[in-house]
Every structure is written in C-alpha cells, then in structure tokens.
Structure 1
Amino acid sequence: MSLFPTRTVSALLVIDMQKDVVAHAVDVAGVTARIADLVERARGAGAPVVWVQHSDGELEEHSSGWELVDGLDPVEGEARVSKRYGDSFEATDLEEVLDRGGVGRLVVTGAQTDACVRSTLHGAFTRGYDVTLVGDSHTTEDVSEYGAPAPQEVIAHKNLYWSFQDAPGREAAVLPASDVTF
C-alpha cells in the first residue's frame, strides 16, 4: 500500500550496526542476534538486505570502528549505503537501490533509536514507503546525562509512537522480530 504501486518487494534495512556506534548501546548482543536471524530469513525469502553505515568526523569510513559488529555479515550482491546524516536517504543512493529492487516496504532495524533510526523511519515514510519498525531489533546508548530518558524508555517510546504513525496510502507498523515476514 505504499505510494509505489508497482513496488511490491519488502527489504530489510540494517542501520549503523557498527562497532563504534553501538559500543555503549543497550542489549547489543540480543539486538545483533535478532537482526542476524532477520537477515537469514530475508535472504531465504529472496528479500533484499540493505546495509547502511554512518561516517563523519568522529567515525572514519573503513576504520575498525566503522565496521559492522561481529555476527552481521553482508554477502556479495547486497547493497551497502554509506551515509553522513541521520536520515539514510539524505545525500545517499538508498532511493536508487530501493527503486532498482522494486522495494515499497522497509523493515527497519539498527542504531541509534533516537537518531538515525528515527530519522530514517520518518524519511522513508514521507518519501512514500510502508515502514515496519522491528521493535526488539533497534538499540541506543544512554544519553540521560544530557536530559534524555533512559535507553529502554527511548526504545519503548519509539515503538509506541511509531505504532500510531499514519498517512494516506502508507502503512506503519511495529512488530517483534519473530513476527516479521518478507
């Protein structure tokens, strides 16, 4: 039901599951394991897996900290998108990758919940995609010293408000990894 009637494919989007990005995030092992399972299920269903990796002045592209966490391994032919901004669509080739793959629905996982995951969810939705957030497969670090809620509360709030996201011709959803289909 996306705004792309000819794009009927669902893709798994793995955002910024990089060593330095999740170094201080909560439940990294559990989130990584659930994403790895989703990756295998997507591959088994013939759904595209798209890997997004952030770089900036503090995180140099191709550095050891820029690499994906152990247990998440792209295979040949899977798209890799390099980004410099929170929204994975901004100044990247993500839209072209999804267009070539006939993708109209994104299944979103990754880090950081309150930054790049949030920005990409909204970026995808406003661009016309159906967007499913995998509620137990995104993570964030504790920035409560700056006034933010605790990480678990940030994750719960993102899941709550995304479950009520609505717009004409698009669907938003929050599902646990075990309920995701491709």
Structure 2
Amino acid sequence: MATLENRPNTALLVVDVQNGVVEGAHERDAVVANIGSLVERARQERIPVVWVQHCDEGLAKGSEGWRIVPELTPGDTEPLVEKTYGDSFEETTLETVLAGLGVGRLVVVGAQTDACVRSTLHGALVRGYDTTLVSDAHTTEDQSAWGAPPPDQVIAHTNLYWTYQTAPGRTAGTVETKGVDFRGTS
C-alpha cells in the first residue's frame, strides 16, 4: 500500500550493525543473532538485503569500529549504502538503490534505536514507504548518564509508538523476528 508507484517489492534494511555502534549495546548478541536469521531468510526467499553503514568523526571509514560486525557479512551483490546522517536516506544512494529494486516496503533492523533506526523509520515513512520495525532486532547503548531512559525502555517505547504509527496511504508497525513475513503485510 506504499504511495510509491510500481514498487511492489520488500527489502530488509540493515542499519549500522557495526562494531563501534553495537559494541556496548543492550542485548547485543541476541539482536545480532535475530538480524542474522532475518538476513538468511531474506536471502533464501530472494528478498533484497540492503546494508547501511555509518561514517563520521567517531566512526572513521576503514576503522575496526566502522566495520560491520563479524557475525554478519554482506553478500557480494547486496547493496551497501554509506551515510553520514542519522536518516539513511539523507544525502545517500538509498532511494536510488531501492527504486532500482522496485522496493516500496521496508523491514528495518539495526542500531541505534534512538538515533539512526528512528530517523530512518521516519525518513522512510515520509518518503512513501510502508515501514515495519522488527521489535527484537534493533538495539541501542545506555545513554542514561545523559538523561535518556535505560536502553530496554528506549527500545520498548520505540516499539510501542511504531506499532501505532500511521500515515495516509502507508503502513507502519512492528513484528517480532519469528513473525516476519517478507511476502505479506507483517
């Protein structure tokens, strides 16, 4: 139901699952395992997997922190989009990549929940994509020293509000890893 014409396909969008981003993240290993299982399922079902990789002063291109975690390996033919802003669409090739794949629906996983994942979810929805967040396949680090809630609450709150997110002609929502249906509406 996306507002994008001739874009019937779904893609798995893997946002910033990099060493330096998820190093101290809440339930890191479980989240990375869930993402890994979704990547494998998408590949088996011939669903495009699109990787996003952040780069900035604290995450220098080519550094160990910048690299995608060793548990996950982008396929040789899978697009890799480099970004410097929270929203994976801002000043990147993401829209061009998705248009080329005929994608109008995104299943989003990754890190950090309260930064790049949240920005990308909103960026996708306002650009016309149906956007599903996998509720147990995104994470963030503890920012409570700076006044943020603990990470489990940040994740729970994001899942709560994205479950009920709406926009004209588009769908949004959340689903657990085990309930992801790349061909359907969940």
- TM-score of the aligned structures, taking structure 2 as reference length: 0.97
Corresponding residue of 2:64: 64
Q: Map of 1:75-154 to 2, 5 A cutoff?
A: 75-154=75-154
Q: Which runs of 4+ in 1 moved over 4 A?
A: none
Query: Which residue identity does 2:41 align to in structure 1?
Result: R
2:117 aligned counterpart, secondary structure = helix
- The C-alpha deviation readout for 1:135-159, integer Å capped at 9, x for no partner, is 0000000000111000000000000
Query: Which residue identity does 2:63 align to in structure 1?
Result: S
What is the alpha-carbon distance in structure 2 between the residues aligned to residue 87 and residue 62 of structure 1? 21
Corresponding residue of 1:178: 178
What is the alpha-carbon distance in structure 2 between the residues aligned to residue 89 and residue 31 of structure 1? 23
Query: Which residue identity does 2:151 align to in structure 1?
Result: P
Answering whether residue 13 of structure 2 is matched by residue 13 of structure 1, we say yes
1:47 aligned counterpart, secondary structure = coil
Corresponding residue of 1:48: 48
What is the alpha-carbon distance in structure 2 between the residues aligned to residue 82 and residue 149 of structure 1? 29
Query: Which residue identity does 1:26 align to in structure 2?
Result: H
What is the alpha-carbon distance in structure 2 between the residues aligned to residue 118 and residue 83 of structure 1? 15
- TM-score of the aligned structures, taking structure 1 as reference length: 0.99
Corresponding residue of 1:166: 166
Aligned length: 182
Identity %: 58
2:120 aligned counterpart, secondary structure = helix
1:116 aligned counterpart, secondary structure = helix
What is the alpha-carbon distance in structure 2 between the residues aligned to residue 100 and residue 62 of structure 1? 27
1:65 aligned counterpart, secondary structure = coil
